[in-house]
Amino acid sequence: MKQLLISLSALWLLVSLGMSSSAQAQQTATTQLKSIHLFDMPAGVTEAQLSAVIGELNTIIKRLGYSNAGYTLYKVEGEGADKYRYYFEGNWPNANAYQKIHDDKSFQEADKKLGMVYEKIKAVELYRRLVRVP
């Protein structure tokens, strides 16, 4: 009986370590896929609104186990840009992770909030989906 308990404990430890290193590898993987959005803030949309929705999406993405994925919002500081003064990007470890995240029901629900804001941005943005060059 003692031998069986030791064997089961060893098996549990191996499985736990395997799962932990798999999750860690997923979290530290290099971004392979990006989406970029260059735009000027349209009327009726504020930085605070967009930032709040992006924050909510990022919380869900992290909860799904992708701490290295999500969106980041930037703006031009100071003078020097007449157009495309805002930029937000999406970073994804790979196309499979992108699909899993975007297929998740909780992500889709939160994404509806972004949709209301994003519809106005889409009318004025420059959008590109990019893959990393090896």
85/76 Cα distance (integer angstroms)? 5
6 or 101: which leads in pLDDT: 101
Share of the chain above pLDDT 70, in %: 77
Average pLDDT over residues 10-21: 39
User: pTM for the whole thing?
Assistant: 0.71
Q: Is the pLDDT of residue 94 over 80?
A: yes
43/54 Cα distance (integer angstroms)? 18
Q: What is the pLDDT of residue 46?
A: 93
Half-sphere exposure of 22 (CA within 13 A, CB side): 6
53/124 Cα distance (integer angstroms)? 19
pLDDT band at 114 (very low <50, low <70, confident <90, very high): confident
pLDDT tens digits for range 33-90: 999 999 999 999 999 999 999 999 999 999 999 999 999 999 999 887 889 999 999 9
> How many Cβ atoms from other residues are within 10 Å of residue 24's Cβ?
11
Q: What is the pLDDT of residue 55?
A: 94
Query: Which residues share a beta bridge with 39?
Result: 86
